Amino acid sequence: MWENGSGRGSLGSSGAVVVDLKVAVLEDDTELREQILVPQLRESGFEVEGYAASGELFAAMPVKAFDLLVLDIGLPDVDGFTVARQLREEWPIGIVVLTGRRAAADRIKGLSEAADAWLVKPVGVDVLAATLQSLARRMRMPLRADEVPARWRLSPEGWRLHAPDGRSLALNHSGRRLLARLFETPGELVTHDELVRTLVHAVEDFDPHRLEMLIHRLRRKVAAELGRPLPLRSVRGQGYIFFVDDEGEAAG
């Protein structure tokens, strides 16, 4: 099931390895997790821990703060879609789904809601490692000085916010969705309802104070980690305007 060239899913020697990355493997198949995925990914240079249930992973996250997750969708305690959504609400983590589900609807749901990559079993561990390496590069690769645009921007996958001076911070799921919508129409008003719809499907069931709190936390995080205010202007009773060139930086 997990064969590549060596018959065990072992990793080849070609290609650079992204090191110093913490990877969690959430897979309830003990043999697959402990005898193949965890040891082989360790050989690849990743720091890996395996978990059989989502509760174990959530308990470990505050201490381990994993960079990447290999996630099975069919888990004994909760489905993988829910795990991915909940993790993304709190942690800037890259997620690679590894599943036996082949339906296009499942793949679309996973990639739309939280996953960064979707691999269908059986797949060689070398392919999994390469996917993790690629995702890690997208999340972490710094720009050269001559590549840094003098404006605010989101990384291609949307999980990092970059300031005009090149510094950046990681975003959680809510922050990513809010900023992605604001970046679609910079300098233009985005209403409260439009922003709420990026977070939930039923606007009427969403507490408007929650949006204000999310915006407040995002502003505070940007100020603390980037040392400058988020150029987001509040238009009372209507919505928000985002300025990619810092025009509205001092506005409320």
Residue 56 is predicted with a pLDDT of: 92
Residue 25 is predicted with a pLDDT of: 96
The chain-wide mean pLDDT, for the chain, equals: 81
- Of the candidates 201, 184, 199, 196, the residue with the CA atom closest to the CA atom of residue 239: 196
**What does residue 229 show for φ and ψ, rounded to 5 degrees?**
-75, 150
Same domain, 234 and 199: yes
Sequence letter at residue 146: D
- Strand, helix or coil at 193? helix
Structure tokens at 47: 């720091």
Same domain, 224 and 126: no
Mean pLDDT by 10 residues, the chain (252 residues): 38 43 92 94 92 92 88 86 82 87 84 84 90 81 49 80 83 88 90 86 72 91 89 90 68 44
Same domain, 179 and 228: yes
The pLDDT tens digits for 56-75 are 999 998 888 888 999 998 88
Domain that holds residue 220: 145-242
Number of domains within the chain: 2
Residue 45 lies in a domain: yes
8 Å CB contact between 146 and 87: no
Residue 10 lies in a domain: no
- Of the candidates 177, 145, 137, the residue with the CA atom closest to the CA atom of residue 158: 177
pTM of the model: 0.55
Same domain, 170 and 122: no
SS3 percent helix, strand, coil of the chain, rounded to 5, is 40, 15, 40
The pLDDT tens digits for 187-233 are 899 999 888 888 876 666 677 788 889 999 999 999 988 888 999 99
The residue from 107, 140, 173 where one domain ends is 140
Residue 3 is predicted with a pLDDT of: 41
> Over the range 173-182, which residues count as b (16 or more CB within 10 Å of their CB) and which as e?
bbbbbbbebb
CA angle 53, 135, 147 (to 5 degrees): 150
Strand-by-strand arrangement of the 153-154 sheet? 153-154, 160-162, 168-170
Residue 140 is predicted with a pLDDT of: 62
Same domain, 160 and 225: yes
Strand-by-strand arrangement of the 239-242 sheet? 189-191, 239-242, 232-235
Whose tokens are 């599943």? That residue is: 99
Same domain, 135 and 81: yes
